[in-house]
Structure 1
């Protein structure tokens, strides 16, 4: 359904996304039991996740590479086709207070989206009920809602145009843990009831298995590891992926089921000085960098039939 091929994006002279490729299949009904039908992009702040999302939405033009939807380059679509694309692929951003017009009531925002449909579409009340909100909230302005309510309104507005794919850019990061769980429950339910596919962009690895089967790990605008989400997060092959996984807070006393690495941890503090300009971009923060890492930048290569890693000394399954 949606494919990025060797996507590169630059802001002026600074390249922030380097040759990223990914694909997301079209929905053929609800996912099978145990399958999520989604793709995740994970990485720390500044890794290029949101820039990729903007390129996939047609908001940023690639420096090179293509983004194709239903086998058409989205940056070459004519006006009518572009409008159709933007109805079939909808964003859900992280902060509902910024995504909603503060001068519009909830009902007005939803009606504005519904006008883009060629058919009658659902009512405002039906949209609010679909995301678990009281229809009476239609009369309120965004500042009169809680953070969780605003995020549900953003999701309802995306659903108004009957999309096939939601690009979720940190959809729960602005919410407390309890509200996060409720929004994730909603997204899981909509995946089945509305037949949606998700492209999830997040730095919170804990939410990935709930919505996605496939994960791409980004560092400094490059994919450093990709594969089945459960395998990558359980047995990471790249030191950076292991550092992200090991940074997840865990409660209780570690036991035999704790699969975190015993190797020295990679540093996750973000600064330009910790991204190498030559060789492997991660080498200044890697606990096991080799001499080869100083001069030769690794490229993605197969690790197993379904996994790839860009590392000169990968760990994980042989």
Structure 2
């Protein structure tokens, strides 16, 4: 285990947006899946030490982040944000060397991510979207991190460039926490995944199981929303615009399977090899996942 969130609640201005989350970042890649506003990025900020939990703890190799050495932690855990995070005033070479202060290593790092070192004198606006994303990855790799925390690293890229970036990330051999709403991306890069809705984990387990046989209606809705080549357009089920329910199951106002029992909050429980917070998980598995 590299990092762990144990009963973590996070918020802004006294408003909680992540509620009592427990998860481990282990070998093989870990995914955080959910729509915008589900709490993925907030949780990632906490794993980076940029946001302190209002409840619970986050640890790195068993040591509470509040007690871990800041310099060593910053070197071991590096963020990979979207390409727009680059400083437009800095050259590519300067951006990559910013963390390590080692200009001599820049050409090798650029080659490692598939960039021509001659591009080192350019500014971000002189590069394509895919090239800028490679610069962001090279900048993170400059300090030889143990863990990359990737926040939607391919969302602004076209399909062919996305594929190249995924090939690159797969081949790095660095552990990763991936924040995404893209199920195809998490399927390639993460052995285990956690699905967040309204700041709560609603399903956790092996990524392949979650994608092939979801046990929570929300995971199923995310899977069914992915267009299929040559297939019928995705069909929304339930109230897609409904806000999270303030009590009981937070997904119940959008859930096509909701029953009176859902007015009581479900606990995470083991169902078919994963943890699911749903009173009707067995029905999802046996009655809907095969559609």
Identify the TM-score tier after normalising by the shorter chain.
over 0.9
**Separation in 2 of the partners of 1:153 and 1:123?**
13
2:191 maps to which of 213, 235, 238: 213
The equivalent position to 2:72 in structure 1, one of 58, 71, 84, is: 84
Is structure 2 residue 277 aligned with structure 1 residue 310?
yes
- CA contact 2:94–2:103 (8 Å) conserved in 1: no
- The TM-score normalised by the length of structure 2 is 0.93
1:253, distance to aligned residue in structure 2 (A): 4.0
Report SS of the residue matched to 2:53: coil
Please name the residue that 1:24 is paired with.
Answer: 25
1:104 aligns with 90
Q: How does 1:127-276 map to 2 (within 5 A)?
A: 127-191=109-173, 196-253=174-231, 265-269=237-241, 273-276=242-245
How far apart are residue 268 of structure 1 and its match? 3.6
Q: What is the distance in 1 between the residues matched to 2:238 and 2:18?
A: 22
Counterpart contact for 1:169–1:200, Cα < 8 Å: yes
- CA separation in 1, counterparts of 2:141 and 2:237? 42
CA drift of 1:89 comes to 0.5
- The whole-number CA distance in structure 2 between the counterparts of 1:9 and 1:111 is 33
Q: Say whether the 8 Å CA contact 1:240–1:266 is kept in structure 2.
A: no
Rounded Cα–Cα distance in structure 2 between residues aligned with 1:109 and 1:244: 36
Structure 1 unaligned residues grouped into runs of 5+: 27-36, 255-259
Per-residue deviation, residues 219-270 of structure 1 (Å, max 9, x unmatched): 000000010000111000100000000001101247xxxxx9x9x823444x
Count, aligned residues: 283
Which residue, out of 254, 263, 269, partners 1:285? 254
Q: Deviations over 1:56-78 (max 9, x none)?
A: 0000010011110011111233x
Is 1:46 the counterpart of 2:37? The answer is yes
* Root-mean-square deviation (Å): 1.8
What are the superposed Cα offsets for residues 170-189 of structure 1, whole Å, 9 maximum, x if unpaired?
Answer: 00001111111110011011
The question of whether the paired residues in 2 share the 8 Å contact of 1:235 and 1:317 is answered with no
Determine the C-alpha separation between the residues in 1 that align with 2:138 and 2:130: 12
Q: Which ranges in structure 2 are unaligned for 5 or more consecutive residues? A: none
Give the TM-score normalised by the residue count of structure 1.
0.85
Structure 1 stretches (4+) deviating beyond 6 angstroms?
none
